[in-house]
């Protein structure tokens, strides 16, 4: 627990000090909404299209943070430092998952109001949607932390991370779309089948968090 807190504290402190990920993610999201707004030539979206625009934007904004997640560990010897310490290396995994989750949360605090202002006539679905996004964030963070670790040890990391990550995230995105679509339906949110998709999201999150926790030590071995 101490190692987890130490690593997480370091990550959040460095991000607050350098602002290397969060501003880029927020700017990317807002810019993407502008592109969709003019690209689709629509002032309002609902249902599956609204869910798609929001989730694709969150997904690619998350990629920016995932690509940078282990830059300091790779370039500044953090991996070596942690392997020299008497710690369970899954603390590193847990800290990175929570850090990424926090980044995505902050992103959505900025991006959701912009999304609502640009595209939604009725914003009553945003509150339940926040719950769905929390599960999406957890899935992105768990899978992203594992894949980013693999990528960090490769020379082709900028290419490898999205190439491995995106296929793995397809089930998450399908479930997220299924859960978000009725919440963004025209005329206000409906809750048909939301429970099924939320269950799928939770199962996905649990699976990847457990797999990450189980294999993380091996990922860091030489």
Question: What does the binding site for other proteins look like in residue numbers (CB under 8 A)?
Answer: 2-3, 6, 10, 13-14, 17-18, 72, 76-78, 80-87, 221-222
How far apart CA 214 and CA 210 sit, in angstroms, is 6
How far apart CA 192 and CA 179 sit, in angstroms, is 9
Shortest distance in whole angstroms from residue 7 CB to other proteins = 8
Contact 25, 63 (CB under 8 A): no
How far apart CA 212 and CA 206 sit, in angstroms, is 10
How far apart CA 127 and CA 137 sit, in angstroms, is 15
Shortest distance in whole angstroms from residue 64 CB to other proteins = 18
Contact 133, 140 (CB under 8 A): no
Shortest distance in whole angstroms from residue 210 CB to other proteins = 22
Shortest distance in whole angstroms from residue 86 CB to other proteins = 3
If we measure between CA atoms, which residue out of 154, 155, 168, 134 comes closest to residue 63?
168
């Amino acid at each position: 627990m101490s190692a987890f807190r130490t690593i997480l504290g370091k990550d959040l402190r460095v991000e607050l000090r350098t602002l290397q990920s969060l501003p880029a993610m927020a700017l990317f999201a807002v810019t993407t909404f502008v592109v969709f707004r003019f690209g689709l030539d629509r002032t309002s979206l609902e249902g599956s299209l609204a869910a798609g625009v929001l989730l694709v934007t969150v997904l690619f904004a998350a990629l920016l943070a995932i690509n940078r997640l282990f830059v300091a560990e790779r370039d500044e010897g953090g991996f070596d430092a942690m392997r020299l310490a008497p710690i369970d290396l899954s603390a590193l995994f847990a800290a990175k998952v929570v850090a990424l989750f926090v980044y995505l949360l902050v992103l959505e605090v900025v991006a959701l109001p912009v999304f609502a202002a640009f595209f939604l006539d009725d914003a009553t679905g945003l509150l339940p949607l926040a719950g769905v996004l929390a599960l999406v964030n957890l899935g992105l963070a768990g899978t992203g932390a594992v894949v980013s670790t693999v990528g960090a040890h490769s020379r082709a990391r900028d290419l490898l991370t999205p190439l491995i990550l995106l296929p793995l995230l397809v089930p998450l995105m399908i479930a997220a779309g299924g859960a978000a679509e009725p919440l963004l339906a025209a005329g206000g949110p409906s809750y048909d089948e939301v429970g099924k998709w939320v269950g799928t999201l939770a199962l996905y999150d649990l699976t990847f968090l457990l797999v990450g926790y189980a294999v993380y030590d091996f990922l860091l071995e030489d």
